Chain A
Amino acid sequence: VGQAKKPLGPYDVPDAVTPYQQATTYNNFYEFGTDKADPARMAASLKPRPWTVKLDGEVKKPQTVDIDTLQSWFPLEDRIYRMRCVEGWSMVMPWLGFPLAGLIRRMNPTSKAKYVQFTALLDPKQFPGQRGNVLDWPYVEGLRLDEALHPLAFMAVGLAGRVLPGQNGAPLRLAVPWKYGFKSIKSIVRITLTEKQPKTTWSLAAPDEYGFYANVNPHVDHPRWSQATERRIGELSRRPTLMFNGYADQVASLYSGLDLKKNF
């Protein structure tokens, strides 16, 4: 990527960062098409400015805010995160953004707020993949409030020090590194605090294969493939998948007492 060597921050992983070229041409972003090359090919149809984000639900004062205003509320920081796709491959992504917790606190949750729901843009003009019914559009995702408040839960607006490319979820996306990649919803237009557990796109599409939690777990297989190993993009042989994608020390306590086989 051509960055000078910087000391690792407290939330960075020491792994070699995935080359920018690969991180921006091998993407799952069905809004652009189901092929991994589609997002990079079609990304120009997405217009990430002007862009507004609606902040509503169980908050003291709902509002709609421009993306540049929203991002000016927080100092931007670098985070080198592992990203493990449910399909069995992984990357190391140098995100630029701000912790989700700061945004949630700024939204002023009411006492009823228990979950966070995220909604991606619905616009078949900008997202050609939404002209078909591969998934139920718009893409929706969610987190438990305590997960969303965890310091690792991150809102990315950039990649490798540059503004986030369309294919990686411009202009605003989630990055929850201990969960499978599909949890990290892209091109967010709405963040809603809710009392009930929100619906999530992939668990609606195939409830027996994708759950609400989607924590990276080498011991709980996908019904059609093992999750014990993964291919790090750029490597030919597989490596073992780590519990919570290697973030167990930080996040395992969130799930104490929860049966992770049932709550996959």
Chain B
Amino acid sequence: MSKASRSSAVPAPSARPAPRRQVRPLGWLGPAIVVGGLVPIFGLIFDGYTGALGANPVQRAELQTGVLTLALLIASLICTPLRLMFGWTWPARIRKALGLLAFMYAALHFLVYLFDKGVFSGGAGVQTFVEDVVKRPFVTVGFAALVLLVPLALTSFRGSVKKLGFARWTALHKLVYLAAALGVVHYWWGVKKDHTEPFLYGAALALLFAVRVIWQGRKPRRKVGAVGKTTGA
């Protein structure tokens, strides 16, 4: 079988040398991010099943999916600063995966919240949810962040950039900063007293934003350097 296929393969590439599958550098990175990004879900399910989520598993799952959303959003926002600062282009290849994973956790966080409010068991659950969004700024900003992420997730597939045009696509995806900022505010307002963790996420976000602003300021010089490095690689 292998012999046959080999013999048949021999004459075919006469026009061109056999196209050896191009091995992209760091080709494992994409799959690793996706697998690594999904592990916490199975962790949550497993912990829920074994009781390791503690006495209040719903609240724990709510918190963990929320924190994962923020962490992944911020991770997705590190990619551009890394390119601006060091000329690294490889992080841009995992940015989409990170962004989509963040959206997935945001959606899960929302589902757990809806479950918590009893939306799936009927009764006053839906009303409670609507009241929460309207009356409680803490929920309002969280929900707004999720809503902002929806168009970003929908336009993160192949062809979206072309359809929208690069400029419009880029402008749209700047919303991720707003969504992440609202996410941090949501977390800040959500904790009872200890603001350490929300502060760390906020600081990371502010830092990344600052890097963009500062490096954008020196764009011309930097751009030449970055292009040189890209073509060099």
**Does A261 lie at the interface of the complex (its beta carbon under 8 Å from any beta carbon of B)?**
no
Which residues on B sit within 8 Å (CB–CB) of A238?
A: 116-118
A231 interface neighbour in B54, B59, B135, B137, Cβ under 8 Å: B59
Which residues on A sit within 8 Å (CB–CB) of B128?
A: 226, 228-229
**Does B56 lie at the interface of the complex (its beta carbon under 8 Å from any beta carbon of A)?**
yes
B182 CB → nearest A CB, Å: 15
**Does B136 lie at the interface of the complex (its beta carbon under 8 Å from any beta carbon of A)?**
yes
**Does A224 lie at the interface of the complex (its beta carbon under 8 Å from any beta carbon of B)?**
yes
Chain B residue at minimum C-beta to C-beta distance from A35: B194
Asked if B118 and A26 make an inter-chain contact with CB atoms under 8 angstroms apart, the answer reads no
Asked if A206 and B131 make an inter-chain contact with CB atoms under 8 angstroms apart, the answer reads no
Stretch at the interface among B36-44, B75-83, B185-193, B200-208: B185-193
Asked if A22 and B55 make an inter-chain contact with CB atoms under 8 angstroms apart, the answer reads yes
Which residues on A sit within 8 Å (CB–CB) of B131?
A: 226
**Does B104 lie at the interface of the complex (its beta carbon under 8 Å from any beta carbon of A)?**
no
CA distance A7 to B55 in the complex (A): 27
Compute the total of residue contacts between A and B using a CB distance below 8 Å: 52
Question: How many residues of A are in contact with the other chain, CB < 8 A?
Answer: 26
Given A226-B131, A226-B132, A238-B116, A36–B54 Cβ distance below 8 Å?
yes
B177 CB → nearest A CB, Å: 24
Which residues on A sit within 8 Å (CB–CB) of B59?
A: 89, 231
**Does B138 lie at the interface of the complex (its beta carbon under 8 Å from any beta carbon of A)?**
yes
Asked if B190 and A25 make an inter-chain contact with CB atoms under 8 angstroms apart, the answer reads no
Which residues on B sit within 8 Å (CB–CB) of A260?
A: none
Tell me the B126-172 residues at the A interface (CB within 8 Å).
Answer: 128, 131-132, 135-138
Tell me the A239-261 residues at the B interface (CB within 8 Å).
Answer: none
Which residues on A sit within 8 Å (CB–CB) of B194?
A: 30, 34, 134
Contact mask for chain B residues 81-101; partner A; CB cutoff 8 A; 1 contact, 0 none = 000000000000000000000
**Does A70 lie at the interface of the complex (its beta carbon under 8 Å from any beta carbon of B)?**
no
Asked if A37 and B54 make an inter-chain contact with CB atoms under 8 angstroms apart, the answer reads yes
Asked if A225 and B55 make an inter-chain contact with CB atoms under 8 angstroms apart, the answer reads no
Asked if A224 and B54 make an inter-chain contact with CB atoms under 8 angstroms apart, the answer reads no
Which residues on B sit within 8 Å (CB–CB) of A220?
A: none
Which residues on A sit within 8 Å (CB–CB) of B56?
A: 26, 36, 89, 231, 233
CA distance A25 to B60 in the complex (A): 14
Given A30-B193, A205-B193, A237-B121, A225–B138 Cβ distance below 8 Å?
yes
Which residues on A sit within 8 Å (CB–CB) of B33?
A: none
Which residues on B sit within 8 Å (CB–CB) of A87?
A: 192
**Does A10 lie at the interface of the complex (its beta carbon under 8 Å from any beta carbon of B)?**
no
B52 CB → nearest A CB, Å: 11
Contact mask for chain B residues 19-56; partner A; CB cutoff 8 A; 1 contact, 0 none = 00000000000000000000000000000000000111
9 further contact pairs, Cβ within 8 A, besides A25-B55, A34-B194: A30-B193, A34-B193, A37-B54, A87-B192, A89-B59, A205-B193, A224-B189, A225-B136, A231-B56
- Measured CB to CB, the residues of B under 8 A from A are 54-56, 58-59, 116-118, 121, 128, 131-132, 135-138, 189-190, 192-194
- Measured CB to CB, the residues of A under 8 A from B are 22, 25-26, 30, 34, 36-37, 87, 89, 134-135, 205-206, 221, 223-226, 228-229, 231, 233-234, 236-238
13 contacts between A and B (CB under 8 A): A26-B56, A34-B194, A36-B56, A134-B194, A205-B193, A224-B138, A225-B136, A229-B118, A231-B56, A233-B56, A234-B55, A237-B121, A238-B118
